[in-house]
Structure 1
Amino acid sequence: MNSFSRQDVLRILQISSRQLLGWEKAGLISQREIYTFQDLGQLRTLRSLREDDVSSASIRHSVAAMQAVAGMSNPLQEASLVRTGTRLAFRCDGAMVDPIRRQLLFDFERVERQTATSEVRALRRASDGIKGIQELFVAAVQAEETGEKHRAISLYEEMLRVDPDYAPGYINLGTIHFHLRQFVRAEELYRQATEKDPGYVLAFFDLGNVLDELERPDESIAAYQRAVELAPRYADAHYNLALAYERKGERRAALRHWQAYAKLDKSGPWSEHARTQIRKLLDGEKLSISWRAASYIAPVKGMADLQVLQRLN
């Protein structure tokens, strides 16, 4: 299985159709109906960068600069895009390049990989004879598509044995258990993803979803809040936070996140729902203020009048 439909992409990457459409409109990826495995990698990179609050404009400018510097037609596929502080760089041909400044950067992560412990290297060698991560991923997705959920689970588990630190693998495996309504196991896997990569926004978002299903609202809200802290412009996290606060009766907190969502998503059914909730909450707040004002006595000028009011009270 080397091609994926648009719906496959939305499900595998756990993104919404509006997110994908937004990336297409921003020129970050071409609009299409069939995607390759390489396209999935490109989209996963985009998702991670957007969750880290890297703007579409910054990504687009860095890609254009890399095309000019290295003569690449598609840097997101031909090189690895990484964030270095507040800037973006690309790894290619054993070097790390800042295409806007046209500078070579010192690749700390590459050095760390080269000095990995003997135990990790032994683990990699022990994986000889097992399919590579890419093949395992494709086989797992294919198993999901044909309804072989348990085979998909086995493949993802094998992938994690090959690379125990691969946080997205925990997410994919957790999502299968989530859809099987095996929420306790899904929670375990999502938590492992947050431990393997504490900056993985989607892990905290998915953890919030499963905790919501487990009817643990305070923990669910905490997970969503962590996602928002990591990526303040993560619209879906604001949306789910607003719903969670509404269920707890915390209207003002819900209003704050509905408003945040409406600013980030300006059109579509979800945006309209958010705006409807904002109107309802504001109308309810007006009624509450009006009710409290029923016994209010307007202030008057002068000490004598104040003394009269005090006696009346």
Structure 2
Amino acid sequence: MRAAANLLESGASVRQVRAALDGARRIAPGVRTPLAELRLVVRDRRVVVEQDRLRLDPGTGQTLLDFDAGDLERETRESLLTGMVRPLIPPADAAEMWFQRASEWDGDPERWESAVEAYERVLDMDPGYAAAWNNLGLLHHRMGQYERAGQCYRAALEADDSCCQAAFNLGSLHEDLGDLSVAVTWYRRALELEADYADAHFNLAGVLAKLGRGEDAAVHWRRYLELDL
């Protein structure tokens, strides 16, 4: 917990820390608790693993020599994928076809515009399709269109008030906007909907730590570690 707090105090975002932890587990599968067993540090505005005098990219396991803004943007883009939601009970076949097509495109930045159009087609056919609203919001979020992203996340909750991913994404959005107290509210809402939502515990802990509420943050760090081991 202290290691995570140190990373946040050094300027890392919650999403960067989360992405680094996931990557550290991939490059060191025998490590159960990366924060305790590996040295994660912030260098040139990114979280890296330092081991045996080497600096490793936790996303790829490759040794790092130079850093650029493009790498940081890629990591942030990849970490936003954790908020995606897939349908359990699809609506009409045509809407589902476009949803699946959009889902194939939304991971490729070069096809984001096509994915946006596909999700909008879904919503033209089924305005109550919460998963489509949520994923459309994530695309706008990644593209920096924050106002539209918020509208889509709220529409997802209006369509399905149990959509914990949309509540989580609203927390992430307000965290990105610097509205930390509002972010706390939405992360707590996500946990009301899904008590074992590991990402929500992680992000909430990070925001509470930034607000100086260390004891409250520790509760959620511990729960995150319990769920993510």
TM-score normalised by length of structure 1: 0.43
2:138 to 169, 175, 182: 175
Q: Once superposed, which parts of structure 1, at least 4 consecutive aligned residues long, lie more than 4 Å away? A: none
Which of 144, 154, 158 lines up with 2:121 in the alignment? 158
- Taking every aligned residue pair, what percent have the same amino acid on both sides? 33
Structure 2 counterpart of 1:204, which letter?
A
Match of residue 191 from structure 1: 154
Q: Which letter maps to 2:221?
A: W
What is aligned with 1:137?
99
AA aligned to 1:186 is A
Of 187, 205, 213, 2:176 maps to 213
Q: Which runs of 5+ in 2 are unaligned?
A: 1-20, 24-84
What are the ranges of 5 or more consecutive residues in structure 1 without an aligned counterpart?
1-15, 19-42, 49-79, 81-123, 125-130, 267-313
CA positional deviation for 1:208: 0.7
CA spacing shift, 1:17–1:191, aligned 2, 3 Å? same
For 2:95 and 2:217, locate their aligned partners in 1 and report how far apart those are by CA, in whole Å: 41
Q: Deviations over 1:18-57 (max 9, x none)?
A: 9xxxxxxxxxxxxxxxxxxxxxxxx946xx7xxxxxxxxx
The question of 1:232 aligning with 2:199 is answered: no
What is the SS of the residue equivalent to 1:241? helix
Compute the displacement of 1:241 (Å): 0.5
Secondary structure in structure 1 of the residue aligned to 2:161: coil
User: Which residue pairs with 2:220 in the alignment?
Assistant: 257
Corresponding residue number in structure 1 for 2:185: 222
**Superimposed CA distance per residue, residues 265-291 of structure 1 (whole angstroms, 9 cap, x where no aligned partner):** 22xxxxxxxxxxxxxxxxxxxxxxxxx
Q: Between Structure 1 and Structure 2, how many residues are aligned?
A: 147
Whole-Å Cα distance in 1 between the matches of residues 109 and 188 of structure 2?
36
Measure, in 2, the Cα distance between the counterparts of 1:227 and 1:174. 16
> Which residue pairs with 1:149 in the alignment?
112
Distance in 1 separating the partners of 2:22 and 2:215: 29
Higher relative contact order (CA 8 A, sep 6+): 2
- For residues 255 and 146 of structure 1, the distance between their equivalents in structure 2, rounded to whole angstroms, comes to 36
Looking at CA atoms only, which structure, 1 or 2, has the larger radius of gyration?
A: 1
What's the offset of the Cα at 1:192? Answer: 1.1
SS across alignment from 1:147: helix
Instruction: State how far apart, in whole Å, the 2-side matches of 1:142 and 1:260 are.
Output: 33
